[in-house]
Amino acid sequence: MSESSQRVAIVTGAARGIGAATASRLADDGFAVAVVDLDEAATKGTVEAIEAAGGRALGVGADVSDSDQVTAAVDRIAAELGPPVVLVNNAGVTRDNLLFKMTDSDWDVVMAVHLRGSFLMTRAAQKHMIDAKWGRIVNLSSTSALGNRGQANYAAAKAGLQGFTKTLAIELGKFGVTANSIAPGFIQTEMTKATAERIGRNWEEYVAERAAAIPVARGGVPEDIAHAVSFFASEGAGFVSGQVLYVAGGPRN
């Protein structure tokens, strides 16, 4: 495929975890991939893995909650890689605490990265999709959207992303753009490792305990989510929009 005809995808928070696996998967699917994360140097591993597999990638440092940084990042991606027509809003943080201990900052940071970040990235990228009359937006929600102890902030943000997604689907559908959410259950990444550490749990024991409560009897891996993103980003998924796909090894975990 020539560089000019290759479709371009952006994955945020793609230095590691679900974002890194998704970036690699979309590159395997034939997209040129912008690997966006807070620190450009941290994207090197993902970019090199994609290039080693024969793909095209560009590492871009940006805080998705900062409007100017988002505008600069999307402009740079369009100039250096091509106009982005796939956007995966994956960057995320947790600031877990029971409600009575949750600080203003715990609330604001989680809202800023998940909700404001997805809004800013989508607003900046959608014009390229509308010009192309084709686009795919995938937002990372969570089973926590259904409610999760210690995550009032995160649950609200992840439920908010589902409403955001459905609205994008309604507004952008006539331009050939779909928007869908993926709500992962327990996925083994640095994010869940940090949770285990914070509550003083041994990681292997924690994974085994979580797996025991999951119908398919294992914890998820980033590639499980990348596979679902790959479906939503595919040509054939053009009639699937405004959906929330729970990828959790069962109905809930």
Indicate the Cα dihedral angle 141, 143, 144, 149, nearest 10°: -170
Query: Binding segment for ligand NAP among 47-55, 70-78, 85-93, 122-130 (CB under 6 A)?
Result: 85-93
Q: How far is the CB of 141 from ligand NAP (least distance, A)?
A: 7
Using rule CB under 6 A, residue 9 touches ligand NAP: no
Query: Which of 29, 63, 96, 224 is in the footprint of ligand NAP by CB under 6 A?
Result: 63
Q: Which is nearer to ligand NAP, 59 or 117 (CB)?
A: 117
Query: Binding segment for ligand NAP among 15-23, 96-104, 118-126, 236-244 (CB under 6 A)?
Result: 15-23
Cβ(86)–Cβ(23) below 8 Å: no
Query: For residue 77, what is the enclosing H or E element?
Result: helix 67-80
Q: Which residues, other chains included, contact 14 with Cβ-Cβ below 8 Å and sequence gap of 6+? A: 20, 22, 23, 33, 35, 36, 37, 43, 46, 90
Query: Which of 7, 8, 9, 17 is in the footprint of ligand NAP by CB under 6 A?
Result: 17
Query: Binding segment for ligand NAP among 27-35, 90-98, 122-130, 201-209 (CB under 6 A)?
Result: 90-98
Q: Which is nearer to ligand NAP, 130 or 214 (CB)?
A: 214
DSSP string, 194-242: HHHHHTT--HHHHHHHHHHTSTTSS-B-HHHHHHHHHHHHSGGGTT--S
Q: How far is the CB of 185 from ligand NAP (least distance, A)?
A: 7
Using rule CB under 6 A, residue 37 touches ligand NAP: yes
- Alpha carbon 199 to its chain's center: 25
DSSP string, 134-145: -EEEEEE--GGG
Q: Which residues bind ligand NAP (CB under 6 A)?
A: 12-13, 15-19, 37-39, 63-65, 90-93, 113, 117, 140, 142, 184, 186-187, 189-192
Question: What is the set of active-site residues?
Answer: 154
